[in-house]
Amino acid sequence: MRELINVIGLGYIGLPTALMMASKGLQVTGTDYDAKKVQNLQHGHLTFEEDGLQELYQKALENGITFTEEYQEADIYIAAVPTPFDKTSKKVIADYLIRAIENILEKCKKDSVIVVESTISPGTIDNYVRPLVDRENKEHNKAIQISHAPERIIPGKMVEELIHNNRTIGADSPEIAERIRKIYASFCQGDIVLTDIKTAEMSKVVENAYRDINIAYANELVKICKEAGVDVYELIQIANKHPRVNILTPGPGVGGHCISVDPWFLVGDYPGLANIIYAARKINDSMPEYVLKRISELMEQEKIESVKRVGLYGLTYKENVDDVRESPTLQLLENMKHHLATGIKVYDPYIREDMVENQYHDFHEFIKEIDLLVVMVGHDEIKEKADEIKDKVILDTRNVITGSRVFRL
Ligand SMILES: NC(=O)c1ccc[n+]([C@@H]2O[C@H](COP(=O)([O-])OP(=O)(O)OC[C@H]3O[C@@H](n4cnc5c(N)ncnc54)[C@H](O)[C@@H]3O)[C@@H](O)[C@H]2O)c1
């Protein structure tokens, strides 16, 4: 009998993971409490776009993957539910995870393993998951085990990275770690490192804090260089000639579900110790406001009188994806509410539904209405349309457009 894997949460992480496992011949059921999502998947419709996902979906369907709203009586559970942070305490909000674990425990059989894939702050499993599992084991003699297998994949390259990234698996014993390793090894060609649960929890948030700090360094240089009258992009190019220096590219802020969220867990749990991590978060969160300042400066310089003649290109948090979570453009629009002027126009080729005020769905309509174009996201589309925006004043926060009237951060 093949083991049944029940993937809980069919979002950006759970869905590709479930499809990947099924495509490799594992027996998989994907479960989500969002009825519409489940219905779409049951009826042949993917719920988001991603390179290679359609092919994976077809293969998984051929191999018998099923989708349900009900938790299954399975051997392995993989929980990929949201783990946001509390904006005040900065700590992880474990409510989705707790609910998922409670539902799993109602269904699961003896000796099953619950793998938490969600990103969690160090100690989350000991504080929230283990007490529930221990109680169930004691009351119903079930011997359920826990593992943590944090996910590193990035939107835009999810399928490729699922196969090629290295992974970390945390478990309470080498036997359980090995049982889970075998499942991931069915598709993962990277190294799979086995460790304890807390180290696995810590590794994921530390990796994202590292990325955040490095981005913050580039963003801090933008502000220093502006003050000093130095071109930050040229400066970074020169500095990166040093054999041991690799400064990242600055930008309008950090969005997405990982880098802009996970470092906060360490700030919330280790106040007074996570100092660089905290400073980096503040610098990156200040960038949308900095872009607003640059917009005002350029409007004055180029005699653009109304913010209604300004257009933000891009709503997503990175190029060529449809994920808008925590995006710098949304942060900027939120900040704008505190300023008197409104009416700024917005367009993103990847966002088809109406999400914000004054949003356009046609590039030409959008361009017609504006004099100052602010490139917030470097989608391929805007690079390809460089000819069509030649007559505009451009604030290019991503350094992807060239031209005489192009200004940078
Ligand atoms: N998106 C990324 O790029 C990324 C990368 C690495 C890690 N992660 C982590 O993976 C986890 C999941 O993120 P995501 O981006 O897939 O989130 P998501 O919001 O795209 O998907 C989560 C899904 O879980 C479902 N859900 C929530 N609670 C449930 C429950 N109790 N039972 C059943 N379904 C439930 C929701 O309906 C939703 O479909 C998070 O911890 C996140 O930090 C995300």
**Ligand 1 atom nearest 13 alpha carbon:** 16
Pocket test for ligand 1, best of 10, 13, 67, 97 (most atoms within 8 A of CB): 13
Tell me, which fold does domain 207-408 have in CATH? Rossmann fold (3.40.50)
Q: What is the pLDDT of residues 207-236, one digit of tens each?
A: 999 999 999 999 999 999 999 999 999 999
Q: Is 257 in the pocket of ligand 1 (CB under 6 A)?
A: yes
Distance 106 CA to ligand 1 centre (A): 21
Q: Is 263 in the pocket of ligand 1 (CB under 6 A)?
A: no
Q: Is 14 in the pocket of ligand 1 (CB under 6 A)?
A: yes
Pocket test for ligand 1, best of 12, 50, 102 (most atoms within 8 A of CB): 12
**Ligand 1 atom nearest 118 alpha carbon:** 41
Distance 119 CA to ligand 1 centre (A): 9
Distance 84 CA to ligand 1 centre (A): 9
- How far lies 120's CA from each of 15, 196, 258, 406, in Å? 19, 14, 11, 41
**Ligand 1 atom nearest 97 alpha carbon:** 31
Sign of dihedral through CA atoms 162, 163, 166, 171? positive
Of 11, 25, 44, nearest to 117 by C-alpha is: 11
CA–CA separation, 11 and 158 (whole Å): 12
Catalytic residue among 37, 204, 318, 345: 204
Bridge partners of residue 13, in order along the sequence: none
Q: Is 147 in the pocket of ligand 1 (CB under 6 A)?
A: no
Q: Is 108 a catalytic residue?
A: no
Pocket test for ligand 1, best of 95, 104, 151 (most atoms within 8 A of CB): 151
Q: Is 208 in the pocket of ligand 1 (CB under 6 A)?
A: no
Q: What is the pLDDT of residues 370-409, one digit of tens each?
A: 999 999 999 999 999 988 999 999 999 999 999 889 999 9
Same-fold call for 4-195 versus 207-408: yes
Q: Is 99 in the pocket of ligand 1 (CB under 6 A)?
A: yes
3-state secondary structure the chain: CCCEEEEECCCCCHHHHHHHHHHCCCEEEEECCCHHHHHHHHCCCCCCCCCCHHHHHHHHHHCCCEEECCCCCCCEEEECCCCCECCCCCCECCHHHHHHHHHHHHHCCCCCEEEECCCCCCCHHHHHHHHHHHHHHHHHCCCCEEEECCCCCCCCCHHHHHHHCCEEEEECCHHHHHHHHHHHHCCCCCCEEEECHHHHHHHHHHHHHHHHHHHHHHHHHHHHHHHHCCCHHHHHHHHCCCCCCCCCCCCCCCCCCCCCCHHHHHHHHCCCCCHHHHHHHHHHHHHHHHHHHHHHHHHHHCCCCCHHHEEEECCCCCCCCCCCCCCHHHHHHHHHCCCCCCCCEEECCCCCCCCCCCEECCHHHHHHCCCEEEECCCCHHHHHCHHHHCCCEEEECCCCCCCCCEEEC
Distance 83 CA to ligand 1 centre (A): 7
Smallest CA separation from ligand 1 atom 36, residue: 9
Report the CATH number of the 4-195 domain: 3.40.50.720
- How far lies 293's CA from each of 105, 182, 316, in Å? 52, 52, 21
Distance 33 CA to ligand 1 centre (A): 12
Burial class (CB in 10 A: 0-12, 13-18, 19+), 249: middle
pTM of the model: 0.92
Q: Is 225 a catalytic residue?
A: no
Q: pLDDT value at position 340?
A: 57
Catalytic residue among 188, 225, 258, 318: 258
> How would you write the pLDDT of the chain (409 residues) with one tens digit per residue?
789 999 999 999 999 999 999 999 999 999 999 999 999 999 999 998 899 999 999 999 999 999 999 999 999 999 999 999 898 988 899 999 999 999 999 999 999 999 999 999 999 999 999 999 999 999 999 999 999 999 999 988 999 999 999 999 999 999 999 999 999 999 999 999 999 999 999 999 999 999 999 999 999 999 999 999 999 999 999 999 999 999 999 999 999 989 999 999 999 999 999 999 999 999 999 999 999 999 999 999 999 999 999 999 999 999 998 899 999 999 999 988 877 567 999 999 999 999 999 999 999 999 999 999 999 999 999 999 988 999 999 999 999 999 889 999 9
Q: Is 37 in the pocket of ligand 1 (CB under 6 A)?
A: yes
Q: Is 32 in the pocket of ligand 1 (CB under 6 A)?
A: yes
Q: Is 12 in the pocket of ligand 1 (CB under 6 A)?
A: yes
Smallest CA separation from ligand 1 atom 41, residue: 118
Domain limits, the chain: 4-195, 207-408
